[in-house]
Amino acid sequence: MLSIGQLSEATGVKVPTIRYYEQIGLLPEPDRTGGNRRLYGEATRKRLAFVRHARDLGFPLESIRELLRMSDDPERSCVAADDIARRQLRAVKARIARLIALRDELERMLEMCSRGTIAECRVIETLGDHALCAEDHAGGEGEV
């Protein structure tokens, strides 16, 4: 049995995140010692490693929840799991395309820079007027 600190060290998941995953039901309630300290078994360590890997691949928590439900039923068809992975792949490809467009726009802004004064600065001018951009790369605020 592992303490929460040992589980954190074994999986690379921070203690507050482990508690959060318990709170939202991705991890089962842990056993407790007489002093009310959490204790985790190998099954929970494996489940948390699964969650961490899925998060590293960018899967949203709800998709991870679905995948965990599927993994609890090993005789089930994997078609639904494949669909979730395909959905995530589409999201990653869309994000990559958006990042490439952002890179291209930044490079274009810098190439057009005359290295003069701020009054002539293409970077400042373009950031102030989205219509000067070569492509529409507007997304959510601060999103990439």
Three-state DSSP state, 140: coil
Give the pLDDT of residue 141: 46
> How remote is the C-alpha of 136 from its chain's centroid?
24
Q: How far is residue 63's CA from residue 57's CA, in Å, rounded to a whole number? A: 12
What is the pLDDT confidence band of residue 137, given thresholds at 50, 70 and 90?
Answer: low
Domain boundaries, the chain: 4-57, 79-132
Q: Which of 74, 72, 144, 75 is nearest to 105 (CA)?
A: 144
Give the pLDDT of residue 115: 74
* pTM of the model as a whole: 0.74
For residues 2 and 45, the answer to whether their CB atoms sit within 8 Å is yes
Q: How far is residue 68's CA from residue 88's CA, in Å, rounded to a whole number? A: 16
Mean pLDDT confidence for 92-117: 86
- Measured at the CA of 96, the angle between CA 94 and CA 101, to 5 degrees, comes to 95
Q: Which of 48, 33, 47 is nearest to 1 (CA)?
A: 33
User: Which CATH number is associated with domain 4-57?
Assistant: 1.10.1660.10
User: What is the per-residue pLDDT across 5-59, written as a single tens digit (0 to 9) for each?
Assistant: 999 999 999 999 999 999 999 999 998 888 889 999 999 999 999 999 999 999 9
pLDDT at residue 139 tops 70:
no
> How remote is the C-alpha of 60 from its chain's centroid?
7
